[in-house]
C-alpha cells in the first residue's frame, strides 16, 4: 500500500480544519491502496519521509516564513534525506493572513535542494478566512492520493 505522509503544523482552529480537510480528501481513496499518515513536524523524522511515497506539507506563514515547527523538521531531517529522496512527489499548503510568498519560496527552495518534485500547484490560502479554503484543502489531499493510487507521479 502506498503511503501518503501529511506533515502539518496546525496551531490555530482554521489550520486544524485545513489539516482535517486535506486528510478527508486523502482518505477518500484509502480503501483503494493509499494509506494516509499524519504527523506534526515537531515529531516527524527523516525515517518517516523515507517510508513515504509522497508528502504533503502544511504551515502558516509567520513573519514572512514557514512556521518554526516546519523549519525545525527540515533542520533535523535535511541531511538524512539529501540524495535519498530524489523526485519524491510533494505538495504543500500555506495559510497566510496577508502574503505567503516568503513561505512558498522557502519551501520550494528547501525541497528543491533535496530534488523533491512538486506535483500540485502551491495552495496559498491567503487573506481573511474563507470556508472555501477547506474545499481547496480537500481537493489537494484527494489529488495527491489519487495521483499516488494511479501511479502518475
Ligand X SMILES: Cc1cc2nc3c(=O)[nH]c(=O)nc-3n(C[C@H](O)[C@H](O)[C@H](O)COP(=O)(O)O)c2cc1C
Among 57, 88, 96, 145, binds ligand X (CB under 6 A): 96
Under the criterion CB under 6 A, does residue 62 sit at the interface with ligand X? yes
Q: Which is nearer to ligand X, 14 or 40 (CB)?
A: 14
Q: What is the DSSP string of 31-83?
A: GGTEEEEEE-TTT--HHHHHT-SEEEEEEEEETTEE-HHHHHHHHHHHHHHTT
Residue 87 is classified by DSSP as T
Cβ atoms 4, 144 nearer than 8 A: yes
Among 33, 97, 112, 113, binds ligand X (CB under 6 A): 97
| Segment contacting ligand X by CB under 6 A, of 22-30, 56-64, 76-84, 112-120 | 56-64
Site mask, ligand X, residues 15-44, x = CB under 6 A?
x-----------------------------
Cβ atoms 142, 29 nearer than 8 A: yes
Under the criterion CB under 6 A, does residue 95 sit at the interface with ligand X? yes
Cell of 58: 502544511
Contact footprint for ligand X (CB under 6 A): 12, 14-15, 60-64, 95-100, 129
Amino acid at each position: 500500500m502506498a503511503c501518503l505522509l501529511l506533515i502539518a503544523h496546525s496551531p490555530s482552529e482554521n489550520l486544524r480544519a485545513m489539516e482535517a480537510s486535506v486528510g478527508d480528501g486523502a482518505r477518500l481513496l484509502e480503501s483503494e491502496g493509499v494509506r494516509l499518515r499524519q504527523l506534526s513536524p515537531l515529531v516527524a523524522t527523516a525515517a518517516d519521509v523515507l517510508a513515504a511515497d509522497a508528502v504533503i506539507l502544511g504551515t502558516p506563514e509567520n513573519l514572512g516564513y514557514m512556521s518554526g515547527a516546519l523549519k525545525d523538521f527540515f533542520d533535523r531531517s535535511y541531511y538524512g534525506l539529501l540524495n535519498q529522496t530524489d523526485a519524491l512527489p510533494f505538495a504543500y499548503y500555506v495559510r497566510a493572513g496577508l502574503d505567503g510568498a516568503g513561505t512558498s519560496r522557502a519551501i520550494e527552495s528547501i525541497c528543491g535542494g533535496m530534488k523533491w518534485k512538486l506535483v500540485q500547484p502551491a495552495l496559498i490560502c491567503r487573506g481573511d478566512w474563507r470556508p472555501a479554503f477547506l474545499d481547496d484543502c480537500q481537493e489537494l489531499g484527494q489529488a495527491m492520493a489519487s495521483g499516488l493510487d494511479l501511479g502518475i507521479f
